[in-house]
Amino acid sequence: MSAELTAESTTRWVTVDGLKLRYHEAGSGPPLVLLHGSGPGVSGWANFGANLPVLAEHFRCLILDQPGFGASGRPEVYDRNYLRIAADAVIGLLDQLELPSAHLLGNSMGGAVATLVALEHGARVDRLVLMAPGGVGVNALGPEPSEGIRRLLDFTVEPTRERVLAWLRTMVFDEQILTDELIDNRLAAASDPAAIAALRDAYATFANPAFAEQVPLWARLRTLRNQVLMLWGRDDRVTPAEGALLPSRQLPNADLRLFGRCGHWVQIERKAAFERAVTDFLTDGL
């Protein structure tokens, strides 16, 4: 199966609210929507393409490029919080594919989107996997924004190879993962003016008081009844691991797994363990 699962062979398209969105589809079984994080050159495939062969053995995997990222279109104007724009895209994807519900797996910003979808469309979400999710953890011990977010913002101001490398270094525990090919591919994708504009505009909505949520995600967690698995790298410099403490106590049906020798990219640095944890959690009791 793995030889057939290329970015090209799995590419599909769907139109939601006038936006043409790309997603990658493979496998059969319970539907699993995978939501990438933010950052220079990010896409659904960049985040989860390497995990697809294993996960597609158990699930109908749908890896979405969220609006403005990867090859997906974006609204002309971001007129509300980006998390809501992305959450509507997830529901639109389920509607277009005629899926009454699905498991959601979200990394970083994608974890925030998955949480928002579950909070406001609970019947459409089965189980949740949140991997170092944004907006859900509370970093009580370190500075805000975190080192990783500061390096990301630096890149959006001046998109150079040095700055994308500085950002990538905050994402991992073992810098040997950062090959020249990976760096060059990320820089090429991130240097597209449209991609830079989309990233800047999405982040601008988070800082705009007019788009602020009345109640932040972390303060709503007690009302989320779905079964949740949280995965966190012990050495995460983007969403530090101590941020997991509050949601692990507030979420009524949550488990937390902490991975040593691992930064923000659990799915890459602890690939096999990540895939086992996700598969075991989503198939338990079925």
Q: What angle do CA 47, 18, 44 make, to 5 degrees?
A: 5
**Cα–Cα dist 220/38, whole Å:** 22
Report the relative pairing of strands 19-26 and 102-107 from DSSP bridges.
unpaired
b/e code 217-226 from CB counts within 10 Å (16+ = b): bbebbeebeb
- How would you class 285 by CB atoms within 10 Å of its CB: exposed for 0-12, middle for 13-18, buried for 19 or more? exposed
Q: How many degrees, rounded to 5, is the angle at CA 18 between CA 15 and CA 21?
A: 40
Per-residue pLDDT, 251: 97
Q: On the CB side of 207, how many CA atoms lie within 13 Å of its CA? A: 8
Which residues, at least 6 apart from 41, have a Cβ–Cβ distance to it below 8 Å?
A: 164, 185, 186, 187, 188, 189, 190, 195
Q: What is the DSSP string of 222-262?
A: GG--S-EEEEEETT-SSS-GGGGHHHHHHSTTEEEEEESS-
CB atoms within 10 A of CB 284: 10
User: What b/e string do you get for 113-151 counting C-beta neighbours within 10 Å, with b at 16 or more?
Assistant: bbbbbbbeeeebbbbbbbbbbbbbbbbeeeeeebbbbbb
Domains defined for the chain, CATH in brackets: 2-283 (3.40.50.1820)
pLDDT in tens, the chain (286 residues): 445 899 999 999 999 999 999 999 999 999 999 999 998 889 999 999 999 999 999 999 999 999 999 999 999 999 999 999 999 999 999 999 999 999 999 999 999 999 999 999 999 999 999 999 999 998 888 888 999 999 988 988 888 899 989 999 999 999 999 999 989 988 888 888 888 888 899 999 999 999 999 999 999 999 999 999 999 999 999 999 999 999 999 999 999 999 999 999 999 999 999 999 999 999 997 6
Q: Annotated active-site positions, please?
A: 264
pLDDT of residue 3: 56
Distances (CA, A) of 161 to 63, 153, 154, 197: 27, 14, 12, 17
Write down the residue that tokens 């509370």 correspond to.
138
- What is the number of other CB atoms lying within 10 angstroms of the CB of residue 39? 26
